[in-house]
Amino acid sequence: MELWQAVVLGIVEGLTEFLPVSSTGHLTIAEGLMGLKVNDPAITAYSVVIQSGAIAAVLVYFFKDIVRITAAFFRGLFNARARQDFDYKFGWYIIAGSIPIVIVGVLGKDIIKGPLRSLWVVAIALILWSGVMWFAEYAATHQRSEKQLKLKDTVIIGLAQCVALIPGVSRSGATISAGLLRDLDRVTATRLSFFLGIPALVGGGIYEFDEVFKSDIGVAPIVVGTVVSFGVAYASVAWLLKFVAGHSIAVFVWYRIGLGVLIMILLGTGAISSTGAA
């Protein structure tokens, strides 16, 4: 992998990781257009590893919240009164909501890294999940805030996060949509999506580190891609939280459908192949 390719993939990852447009789908498209073999285990692992830059951006952005929640969680482990603190409960909610994707990710690793790494899958998923996102906005009441979260909410949203293992669905698109269908307001659903993404993406990055370092990609592209994704993702997180405070996520539906149709046209005309550039 050339350094310019690492920069491009870092920008794509940072821009799309937390927007409901599918970072994996966009990375797969970018890799294919640059002539990289998208179903190569090393390329798949690289895509996962540079997500650590985006996760670092979330950790920095929500640092005070994370410290507060972590402190409350450990206080609650040893103090019965502290267990009444919402932050203590929220810590457990994140743990419970993260369990489904750990199980599905490990058991389905071979399918996720193999047959699903196809631009046909990306195009179809972009279009089909757009319908779910539109329905979520149509049915949402936005009546519940973060303080009204329940364990059942995060487990259901955690299950929805598993669907995002299909390239093109979008992890944030799946979790935010599930949150809206649980009648959470957009900001709460989006914040919860960020927090659930931390263990999911950190775990995925650690799981794939060995694979990518055993490949011939090299250390420099890994470092460059990760650093670039950090900077771009930080700006994306700040923008998205402000955006959802006053706008519907349905605006992303038209972009997703348009991109999905474009990919199908390119595939149908032979301009690109399902696993890389023609």
Structural domain spans, the chain: 3-277
The pLDDT mean for the chain works out to 86
Write down the pLDDT at residue 30: 87
Asked whether residue 133 carries a pLDDT value surpassing 80, the answer given is: yes
For residue 123, give the nearest of 16, 269, 22 by alpha carbon: 22
CA distance 58 to 198: 8
Measured in whole angstroms, the distance separating CA 259 from the mean position of its chain's CA atoms is 18
pLDDT digits (tens, 9 = 90+) for 151-172: 999 999 999 999 988 888 888 8
Write out the two tokens for 276: 């890389």
Say whether pLDDT at 48 is over 60: yes
User: What is the distance between the alpha carbons of residues 52 and 228, in angstroms, rounded to a whole number?
Assistant: 11
- The span from the first CA to the last CA of the chain, in angstroms, equals 18
Q: Which of 152-161, 162-171, 188-197, 212-221 has the lowest mean pLDDT?
A: 212-221
pLDDT digits (tens, 9 = 90+) for 53-86: 888 998 999 999 999 999 999 999 998 888 999 9
User: What pLDDT score was predicted for residue 246?
Assistant: 83
**Residue percentage of the chain with pLDDT more than 90:** 45
Mean pLDDT over 87-94 rounds to 94
More confident residue, 169 or 117: 169
- The SS3 of residue 276 is strand
Percent share of the chain, pLDDT over 70: 92
Q: How confident is the model at residue 110 (pLDDT cuts 50, 70, 90)?
A: low
Confidence band of 278 (pLDDT split at 50, 70, 90): very low
Amino acid occupying residue 172: S
Average pLDDT for 18-31: 83
pLDDT above 60 for 277: no
| pTM of the predicted structure, to 2 decimals | 0.84
Q: Which long-range contacts (CB under 8 A, 24 or more apart) does 110-116 make?
A: 112/165, 113/39, 113/41, 113/44, 114/39, 116/165, 116/166, 116/167
Calculate mean pLDDT across residues 37-53. 79
Per-residue model confidence (pLDDT) at position 42: 78
Average pLDDT over residues 212-226: 79
Crossing angle of helices 23-33 and 3-16, rounded to 10°: 160
Average pLDDT over residues 236-247: 88
What secondary structure does DSSP assign to 8-22, as a single string? HHHHHHHHHSSSTT-
What is the pLDDT averaged over residues 192-199?
88
